[in-house]
Structure 1
Amino acid sequence: MVSEVHAITAAGRPQSEQSHDRIVRYLITMGIRTGCFVAALFTDGWVRWACIAAAGLLPLIAVVLANAGVERRHRPDTLIATVPAEPDRQLANPTRGEERP
């Protein structure tokens, strides 16, 4: 029997998962760019120019998406413990306000 493992931290996803997601986003964008080049070969008029413009801009978009910062997606199974605040309770600091001899 396999037991389900729950995360008890707010840490992000592993680097390997983040890297895989970035690669997939980049390859999808480059696939669309390739489709734009092919469409530009077989179309005329404004559609051809729109395809050429998209093929020119997609590398920039692909790199920006692939290099997007570390994501902070929380998994649905992540448990975050909260500690209730006690505003009336103050921590004692014996050296505060007192001079040392």
Structure 2
Amino acid sequence: MTMKQPSITSLPVSPDEERRSRMRKYSIAMSVRMACIVLVFVVPGWWMWVFALGAIVLPYIAVVLANVSDNRAGRVDAPGPVPYRAIEPLPEDLPPMPDRPAGDDR
């Protein structure tokens, strides 16, 4: 029986590349949050509240985005199923199984 080798294109992203991608997403979101914090003190009116909301909500969004795994090509193909093989019946000339003593719960 031959096992199907996984294709190089079906292998998941390396852990280093995945970590770099998550750090990049988190850094971008935190940079936008810093801009929102600065703009809260610069922009008057209702825009101030929009930027304040962004500064409050963006840390949660940044963590969620950074922790979402990007598994577009991350599924590795498993080997094929094991072929079914019928169990052969026991021969008729086998000696009987010995009886177990009472209380033997193995």
TM-score bracket, normalised by the shorter chain, equals: 0.5 to 0.7
Shift of 1:99: 5.0
Say whether the 8 Å CA contact 1:13–1:73 is kept in structure 2.
no
Matched with 2:86 is 93
Where does structure 2 lack aligned partners over 5 or more consecutive residues? Answer: 1-5, 95-106
For these two proteins, the number of residue pairs brought into alignment is 80
**3-state SS in 1 of match to 2:38:** helix
Matched with 2:44 is 44
1:63-74 equivalences under 5 Å are 63-68=63-68, 70-74=69-73
1:5-24 equivalences under 5 Å are 8-9=7-8, 10-24=10-24
**3-state SS in 2 of match to 1:12:** coil
Please identify runs of 4+ aligned residues in structure 1 that moved more than 6 A: none
Percent sequence identity over aligned pairs: 28
Say whether the 8 Å CA contact 1:39–1:48 is kept in structure 2.
yes
CA RMSD, aligned part only? Answer: 2.5
Alpha-carbon spacing, 1:71–1:99, altered in 2? closer, same or farther (3 Å) = farther
Cα separation, 2, equivalents of 1:25 and 1:35? 16
Cα separation, 2, equivalents of 1:18 and 1:43? 37
Pick the structure with greater CA Rg.
Answer: 2
